[in-house]
Structure 1
Amino acid sequence: MKKKIRIYQSINTKIVFVIVLLLVFALQLIGANFITQIERQLIANFQEDRQVQMNFLESTILPALEREESGEEGEVNPEQEISNLLTEFSGSGITDLQVVNSELILMGTSDTTQQNIVGQLSDDVDLRQAQITENSITRQVIDPVTQNRRWKIVEPVFSAGEESQFLGAILMESNIESVYDQISQITGIFLQSSAVAIILSLVLANMVSRALTKPIKEMQIQTRQIAEGDYSGTLKVYGEDELGQLASLINDLSDDVAEAQESIDAERRRLDSVLTHMTDGVVATDRRGKIMIINEMAQSMLDKNQEEAIGRNLLSILDVEEDVTLRRILENQDDMLVNSKQNGIPIILRASFSLIQRESGFISGIVCVLHDVTEQERIEEERKQFVSNVSHELRTPLTSMRSYIEALADGAWQDPDLAPRFLEVTQNETDRMIRMIQDLLHLSRIDSGKSVLNLEIVDMTEMLEHVLNRFDMVIHSAEYEGKNYQIRKDILQESVFVEVDPDRMIQVLDNIMNNAIKYSPDGGTITGKMEKRYDTVLISIRDEGMGIPKADLNKIFSRFYRVDRARSRAMGGSGLGLAISKEVVEQHGGRIWAESTEGKGTTFYLSLPYVPYEEEEWE
């Protein structure tokens, strides 16, 4: 169905509009430049004329000012002489002339109505500035009465001797409004001429446009027939210009349709293949491996926009040029893992390849489907690491127990000195395995969401003081005999009530305090501190131990992670205490972190959400 073209959509109207618009634009540029240049020139000429007049007036008045400065008497009074000169010089657009002596006393003015101010001190700011700077002052001012623009010149006058002396100054105001009136008249003439030119251009542009659009309309009819499947029509070629060549090309179009149809079918199959995998990242290439299509998901996964990817080699985009060749992909189409970044975060992609083939078997391209397997790979790696760590942690105490049990079986049980010591070691290693398994079960319950907090309103000040007092008794027990540890308390003097699971929170504080004592040197001080913020309670425990290297600081809350594995294992640690503490604190909506300086000690921080309450809420 033929769609009716509105007049403003017609190419004839558009051509006329463009031609007229270009003419208007050109006239605007020419007019703006012409009027600006005229304005500058007229104003410059006006200013030069006034400066010439000022120079002439300065040379005329100089003798009178010299006599006034020296006090010489002549036939004519200097003030009378200056007044006569100003009267003769006024006119020609000059609205005001004033002359002052070196002390800014007004000696004459051209305004006959202002003769009463002669002999008085001038209050003109520009005259005072000219006296101070001894430089000419020129600027445009507005007449307060008529609101017309005036050109003001203040010229200092100096003596003619070798050492020039300031004798006075001349003030001249001229009517520059007449120049702007002249510019307005020129602008009006230019606008009238432009309007006539635009009207004529409309007529000429319409004639030219009709001559161009006639063959275009014929092409429109012919192309519509081609779109409907009729390729039998032939366009009339009016000349050898661009429109004539276009008509010839349209005539050749019907001959190329059969070949183009085959190419369209290949493109359709390629798009069908892409649409099949649109849930993942999809990249389609030509037979040489150059990227032709890349969807938004693939752009995000590969951290490349469409402009960066189109036309580039697929292997280059995947960064696997050194590991695989395009021929190998064409022959095997094996999946591969690719390292990439998404929004700056490293990810792992599984790249799957499939070929785009014509019915003849010719390979016209490759489709690469990208699937994010970062989480699966991370879980698999954590599973392997977990199995390895658990196996290692269990093997060490089991090996030790086996050695001691074999020694007991070989007869050591009969030795009254060795047997109790061997049994004690065996019992300690058994307890160690039981603690580690309990920790693993606790972490497993947290991971599965089965760990439930028994929340109570607890006075955190009292809880922290209780834990510090308990460990203060521990370090003074027989177990630490010969050691000189100290525990310093810096806690609040008021009660701070927080909703927590007291057993779990005491477990967290115990883990941190145990670590602080384990890694503190003999004579070291462990400091427990508590602060109250607006919406949080901050607890910190600082030791004076060996510290934690900066590279390991972010890993200490990982499961089974130890900074010094040999020393930690010797002290009985399993590497799960801080991991459990982190999970428990996060269950409470809080945060735990550490700051450390090697050789100086480590500070663990525990932040818990705190909601202040009014006393009447508890009544």
Structure 2
Amino acid sequence: MKKKIRFYQSINTKIVFVIVLLLVFALQLIGANFTTQIERQLVANFQEDRQVQMSFLESAILPLLELEANNTEDNEVDPVQEINSLLADFSGSGITDLQVVNDDLVVVGTSDSTQQNIIGQLSDDVDLRQALFTESTVPRQVIDPVTNNRRWKVVEPVFSDADDGQFLGAILMESNIESVYAQISQITWIFLQSSAVAIILSLVLANMVSRALTKPIKEMQIQTRQIADGDYSGTLKVYGEDELGQLAGLINDLSDDVAEAQESIDAERRRLNSVLTHMTDGVVATDRRGKIIIINDMAQTMLERTDEEAIGENLLSVLNVEEEITLRTILEKQDDVLVNASEGGVATLLRASFSLIQRESGFISGIVCVLHDVTEQERIDEERKQFVSNVSHELRTSLTSMRSYIEALADGAWEDPELAPRFLEVTQNETDRMIRMIQDLLHLSRIDSGKSSLELEIVDITEMLDHVLNRFDMLIHSAEYETRNYRIHKELLREAIFVEVDPDRMIQVLDNIMNNAIKYSPDGGTITGRMQKTDDAVIISISDEGMGIPKADLNKIFTRFYRVDRARSRAMGGSGLGLAISKEVVEQHGGRIWAESKEGKGTTFYLSLPYVPFEEEDEWV
């Protein structure tokens, strides 16, 4: 999933920000140094100019102060008037105030025409007193209390040219330095404007440079995202031989390598999926914690779990063997486990075989479980055991009976004219029974091995059924059944139905069904033979009014040696193979045999056989 990058998080913004920040930082340093230097230079120039003016004024006022200090009345020049006249002429050019005091700090001249009244008065200026006491120049910057402007104030003591250097007085000069600071402010403002323009231009240039740097990176980002999404068709443009160009070339090579590797992986995955899909065994793979991560179609069918229901579940819980084994047992022994399951509602038995998925380091990263359906194998094994048991029982019963009678005959019963014939008859009947059973077994063996061939003929099945029913009708009226009152009822079709069958085998099937019907019909019962015709099959049904077959046993009656009531069947001389042979013979003919029964009301056996439609054109010409 692509995560949206905020504006301030992008490399482009960061590069622009860093460049502009560096520029601003540089401008700050340059501006601070430039402004400070300009301020110092301008202020120094201003002070030098005022010092020059002060020196010129001092040289002009010195003789006048000497005259004023001598205080001779015959002087042709009035020094105070001359000083005031000189100060009035000298004011201007930024000079706001000029005052001259004598050695007694009495004001003898001022340039301010509005303050002429202070002439002759003692000055209270602190800086004048300091200059008097220190006999040195006192320069400093003051604030005009009226205009709140900055002024440069200089107090210069005046000494005579004589050797003694007598202190004659002092000159006070105040000039407006605000213009200098205004000039500095203007220069600073111009610098700020220029800096702003430089910053704007740097933003544009930095953005262009940043885009030139980040454009290949964005293209690499898009290409790598496409590679991550499985699209390897794109190719990065190499803009140069620098580090980004080399990186773009490496990404192109990586894309080709990953595409080839992915194709190989996809081919292997398709091959594996095909193998897993078409396997007759179920395959389940888990992670190292036993959680299912892969389950093929056959395993889903065997376990009756969909892919969504199984993925993420615990293997042992899905196999329903949590109470029998643990995951640790599987990791240590990997023994096979029999799993009871159901497939389509039918109980099945699965053999689960386990193997570990291990790395070269020995780390176990998962388990593979292979499920093999052994239901049929177990059923065949159980049938084989049951078959051997039944055959052994049948033969042992007959042989035991024969041995008993033969021993009796050997002990002298052969001399008894009444017992000897009866004993020999029983021995003969048991021998015949064993021969019939062996013949039935040989017949089933030939069918199982595919060596039983049919001698097919096109016969009228209506006539064949009528013949079999008539024969049994004569049998039930013979001396053998004179104590029983059976009746055979026929509901046959009135038309000929031609079926391609082996007459001997089909008569054997009908005889087996009729024999069972007579055996299990009560005295006075009716045996009914019916025929029905569909579009492509003829259905024969034989019903009796016997005790019926329980519903639980109905689908097992065609199993070899299976008997609903073993004691009664054996007493009636059955071997348990007749219906099994009948089923095999009918299926050999492409038909189907089944039974319906209600306990206490009787049983109906059905035979469905494909028939050959007969038309007049089919007659002999």
TM-score after normalising by structure 2: 0.55
Letter in 2 for 1:473: M
The 1-side partners of 2:457 and 2:573 are apart by 32
Instruction: Name the structure 2 match of 1:603.
Output: 604
Instruction: Name the structure 2 match of 1:218.
Output: 217
The 2-side partners of 1:521 and 1:528 are apart by 17
The 2-side partners of 1:327 and 1:391 are apart by 46
Shift, 1:374, TM fit: 3.2
Aligned ranges for residues 482-493 of structure 1 at < 5 Å?
482-493=483-494
Aligned ranges for residues 265-276 of structure 1 at < 5 Å?
none
Instruction: Name the structure 2 match of 1:371.
Output: 372
Instruction: Name the structure 2 match of 1:297.
Output: 298
Give the 3-state SS of the residue equivalent to 1:594 in structure 2: strand
Instruction: Name the structure 2 match of 1:577.
Output: 578
Aligned ranges for residues 321-340 of structure 1 at < 5 Å?
321-340=322-341
The 2-side partners of 1:584 and 1:481 are apart by 33
Residues 225 and 477 (structure 1), Cα distance of their counterparts in 2 relative to 1, 3 Å cut: closer
Instruction: Name the structure 2 match of 1:350.
Output: 351
Aligned ranges for residues 204-283 of structure 1 at < 5 Å?
218=217, 221=220, 278=276, 279=279, 280-283=281-284
The 2-side partners of 1:405 and 1:351 are apart by 54
Question: Which segment is superposed worse, 352-361 or 434-443?
Answer: 352-361
Q: Residue 557 in 1 paired to residue 535 in 2?
A: no
Letter in 2 for 1:334: D
Letter in 2 for 1:449: G
2:560–2:577 contact (8 Å) kept in structure 1: yes
Shift, 1:413, TM fit: 1.8
Residues 421 and 362 (structure 1), Cα distance of their counterparts in 2 relative to 1, 3 Å cut: same
Aligned ranges for residues 58-77 of structure 1 at < 5 Å?
none
Instruction: Name the structure 1 match of 2:479.
Output: 478
Give the 3-state SS of the residue equivalent to 1:522 in structure 2: coil
Aligned ranges for residues 103-182 of structure 1 at < 5 Å?
none
Shift, 1:224, TM fit: 6.0
The 2-side partners of 1:316 and 1:215 are apart by 54
Taking every aligned residue pair, what percent have the same amino acid on both sides? 78
The 2-side partners of 1:222 and 1:359 are apart by 35
Shift, 1:414, TM fit: 1.9
Give the 3-state SS of the residue equivalent to 2:293 in structure 1: strand
Shift, 1:423, TM fit: 1.2
Give the 3-state SS of the residue equivalent to 1:509 in structure 2: helix
Shift, 1:592, TM fit: 1.5
Residues 609 and 296 (structure 1), Cα distance of their counterparts in 2 relative to 1, 3 Å cut: closer
Question: Which segment is superposed worse, 295-304 or 432-441?
Answer: 295-304
Residues 406 and 215 (structure 1), Cα distance of their counterparts in 2 relative to 1, 3 Å cut: farther
Shift, 1:578, TM fit: 1.0
Instruction: Name the structure 1 match of 2:152.
Output: none
Instruction: Name the structure 1 match of 2:466.
Output: 465
2:497–2:612 contact (8 Å) kept in structure 1: no
Unpaired runs of 5+ in structure 1?
A: 1-9, 13-210, 229-267
Instruction: Name the structure 1 match of 2:509.
Output: 508
TM-score after normalising by structure 1: 0.55
Instruction: Name the structure 2 match of 1:534.
Output: 535
Instruction: Name the structure 2 match of 1:430.
Output: 431
Q: Deviations over 1:290-343 (max 9, x none)?
A: 222333333333222222112211111111111111111111111122233345
Letter in 2 for 1:299: Q
Give the 3-state SS of the residue equivalent to 1:361 in structure 2: coil
Letter in 1 for 2:449: S
The 2-side partners of 1:418 and 1:494 are apart by 54
Shift, 1:284, TM fit: 2.2
Shift, 1:519, TM fit: 0.9
Aligned ranges for residues 21-36 of structure 1 at < 5 Å?
none
The 2-side partners of 1:222 and 1:334 are apart by 51
Q: What is the root-mean-square deviation in Å for CA atoms of aligned residues?
A: 3.2
Letter in 2 for 1:432: R
Residues 413 and 440 (structure 1), Cα distance of their counterparts in 2 relative to 1, 3 Å cut: same
Give the 3-state SS of the residue equivalent to 2:463 in structure 1: helix
Residues 357 and 616 (structure 1), Cα distance of their counterparts in 2 relative to 1, 3 Å cut: closer
The 1-side partners of 2:484 and 2:533 are apart by 33
The 2-side partners of 1:305 and 1:394 are apart by 51
Q: Deviations over 1:2-32 (max 9, x none)?
A: xxxxxxxx999xxxxxxxxxxxxxxxxxxxx
Residues 329 and 216 (structure 1), Cα distance of their counterparts in 2 relative to 1, 3 Å cut: farther
Q: Deviations over 1:423-448 (max 9, x none)?
A: 11111111111101111111111111
Residues 454 and 320 (structure 1), Cα distance of their counterparts in 2 relative to 1, 3 Å cut: same
The 2-side partners of 1:512 and 1:216 are apart by 91
Q: Deviations over 1:473-525 (max 9, x none)?
A: 11111111222111122222332222111111111111111111111111111
Letter in 2 for 1:455: L
Letter in 2 for 1:488: H
Instruction: Name the structure 1 match of 2:549.
Output: 548
Q: Deviations over 1:395-444 (max 9, x none)?
A: 21112112212222222222221121111111111111110111111111
Instruction: Name the structure 1 match of 2:419.
Output: 418
The 2-side partners of 1:388 and 1:402 are apart by 20
Instruction: Name the structure 2 match of 1:444.
Output: 445
Residues 360 and 461 (structure 1), Cα distance of their counterparts in 2 relative to 1, 3 Å cut: closer
2:340–2:350 contact (8 Å) kept in structure 1: yes
Letter in 1 for 2:452: S
2:500–2:612 contact (8 Å) kept in structure 1: no
Instruction: Name the structure 2 match of 1:134.
Output: none
The 2-side partners of 1:293 and 1:533 are apart by 49
Shift, 1:219, TM fit: 5.3
Residues 358 and 492 (structure 1), Cα distance of their counterparts in 2 relative to 1, 3 Å cut: closer
Give the 3-state SS of the residue equivalent to 1:505 in structure 2: helix
The 2-side partners of 1:503 and 1:307 are apart by 56
Instruction: Name the structure 2 match of 1:383.
Output: 384
The 1-side partners of 2:355 and 2:478 are apart by 72
